[in-house]
Amino acid sequence: MKRIAIVNILLKLLVVILGSVIFFFPDLPQLQGRGMVARFFIFILLAFLFPFIWTVIVKKKPYPHLIDSIYTLPLIIDLGGNVAGFYKTYWQWFDKLTHFINPVFIGIALFYVLSRADKNKFMVWLAVIGVLSTGHVAWELFEYNAPSADRTIMGLSYGDTLSDLAMGVFAHILVTIFVFLDPLKFYKGKEYRKKIAD
């Protein structure tokens, strides 16, 4: 088994472990008022959504473990940050960091998945930014309305929502640069990029 496949499996296992902590120890002080039960079900679903779609619907080989690993990282960052209490202790900067870096990871993964189906980079970019924008707004709505979420504890406000969305815009700009520069093509040529996408 290739190393990246092992890494991907370990990342999925880490999502399950972090999710289990949230599910079995919901009374931990750092988890209070953050809608963690809803996060548990959503994040476990998301963790295995990509493998399900690829294995059952796409059915292409080899399996893109690198792309799946990149896609999984935002789940680990959010779950890990909650379990470690970073949203409580370092809320101001950690929350903004996640609203910036997570869309970047998701955008990069989406780019390499969609570029397999459509070679028109502009159309791929439109699709990626469309998904990211919709996803970011949906996430803000989820945070604000999630069951057991305490808006005061989570620091939710009009200003916080605007700043979160602003971080998303900066993330989209970085993803745009990545899409059009496609830096992997400069590393060992197009064959390496094709290998990464596969």
C-beta neighbour count of 150 within 10 angstroms: 13
pLDDT of residue 41: 86
Q: Is 70 exceeded by the pLDDT of residue 184? A: no
d(CA 92, CA 108) in angstroms, rounded, equals 25
pTM here is 0.79
d(CA 37, CA 82) in angstroms, rounded, equals 12
Q: Where is mean pLDDT largest: 28-32, 55-59, 73-77?
A: 73-77
- What domain range includes position 135? 3-197
Name which residue leads in pLDDT, 59 or 29.
29
Query: Alpha helix locations (H) across the chain?
Result: 3-24, 36-52, 65-84, 86-89, 91-117, 121-145, 158-181, 189-197
Instruction: Specify whether the CB–CB gap between 180 and 125 falls below 8 A.
Output: yes
pLDDT in tens, 111-155: 888 877 767 888 888 989 998 988 888 877 777 665 555 555 555
d(CA 79, CA 20) in angstroms, rounded, equals 10
What band does 75 get if pLDDT is binned at 50, 70 and 90?
very high
Domains held by the chain: number: 1
Quickly tell me which residue has 């640069």 as its tokens.
Answer: 177
d(CA 65, CA 59) in angstroms, rounded, equals 14
Q: Taking residues 103-117, what's their average pLDDT?
A: 86
d(CA 188, CA 62) in angstroms, rounded, equals 20
Radius of gyration for the alpha carbons in the chain, expressed in angstroms and rounded = 17
pLDDT of residue 30: 82
What band does 89 get if pLDDT is binned at 50, 70 and 90?
confident
**DSSP 3-state of 149:** strand
